[in-house]
Structure 1
Amino acid sequence: MGLVGTVVGVALGCVVWWRIPWLVPMIEHLLHVQFLPPSVYFISELPSELVPGDVVKIGVIAFVLSCLATLYPSWRGAKVRPAEALRYE
């Protein structure tokens, strides 16, 4: 599950990054707001750059953390004797 979630998250993040020039104006139009209005900010858009090395690092860290998150519950479950766990059910 951690691998599937990581792959879907990385893919969805890359698609959103790729579609930012189309997505931001659509959101601005739907919400009737302007992100970074020129009268307030010196820049009119947020520059974004997809760095493949960073995407790989983030994906690996997300997968490792999802694997580590399963260790404590597994360790606690392995310590419980089956008969004791079923006694109070």
Structure 2
Amino acid sequence: MDSANAIAFKVNDVLKAQSIARSVGYSLDNYLYIKSWITSQGYLYQDIQMVKSLMYIILLLVVAVACFNIVSTLVMAVNEKRGDIAILKTMGAGKWTLRFIFIVQGAFNGFVGCLLGAMMGIYIALNLTELITHLEALLGHKFLSGDIYFIDFLPSQINYNQVIIITLLAFVMSVLATIYPAWRASNIKPAQELGYSH
């Protein structure tokens, strides 16, 4: 008697392949060995998910370092321009005016940096395979060999919602990083900086 000893089927949602395979197996009367791509190649997916989680942490650290650079740059600008700030205060510039000047300067730097970073990130993600191919040709070493791995390229998918959220968060952090230098600039005492006595 002819009978099937295996069945194979395609699913629309690849992430639900294991649960769908189980439900199909349980609906049949015969004993079956259930196997999906998650069973055979799931380790790769788990590695990608782990790398994705680590990338969020790395990205946060990169943004934090960039914010620290903004703080240090503005603090140095305050130290270099103490005399000019004192003159502005003697000419009638208020504390909030000085704070606004430094916040705007830091926000502009942050805006340009976030915009350029987002554009470069999108470009690299869209052309990742080509860039890796050029790098392999330049170094003479193949990072992903088709003989070892089942893919010989780096797939990438851009989630524009996440790009927008990360860019906006980076910009907000860069603006917040300007508050301390701006506060420090506004508290400069003109009498001390210009050599006058009380």
What TM-score bracket applies, with the shorter chain setting the length? 0.7 to 0.9
C-alpha displacement of 1:14: 0.5
**Equivalent position of 1:74 in the other structure:** 182
In 2: Cα distance, 1:41 partner to 1:86 partner:
69
How many residue pairs match? The answer is 87
For 1:32-69, what per-residue CA distance to the aligned partner results, in whole angstroms no more than 9, with x for missing partners?
12213355556533332100111001100110111111
Larger RCO, structure (CA 8 Å, separation 6 or more): 1
**Equivalent position of 1:37 in the other structure:** 145
Change (3 A) 1:85 1:22: same
In 2: Cα distance, 1:38 partner to 1:82 partner:
69
Is 1:24 equivalent to 2:110 in the alignment? no
Gaps of 5+ in 1: none
Gaps of 5+ in 2: 1-108
**Equivalent position of 1:63 in the other structure:** 171
> Could you tell me the TM-score, scaled by structure 2's length?
0.40
> Could you tell me the TM-score, scaled by structure 1's length?
0.82
In 1: Cα distance, 2:194 partner to 2:135 partner:
53
Task: Point out the structure with max Rg over C-alpha.
Answer: 2
Is 1:2 equivalent to 2:113 in the alignment? no
Runs of 4 or more, structure 1, over 6 Å off, are: none
Change (3 A) 1:78 1:29: same
Q: Sequence identity, in percent?
A: 38
Is 1:15 equivalent to 2:15 in the alignment? no
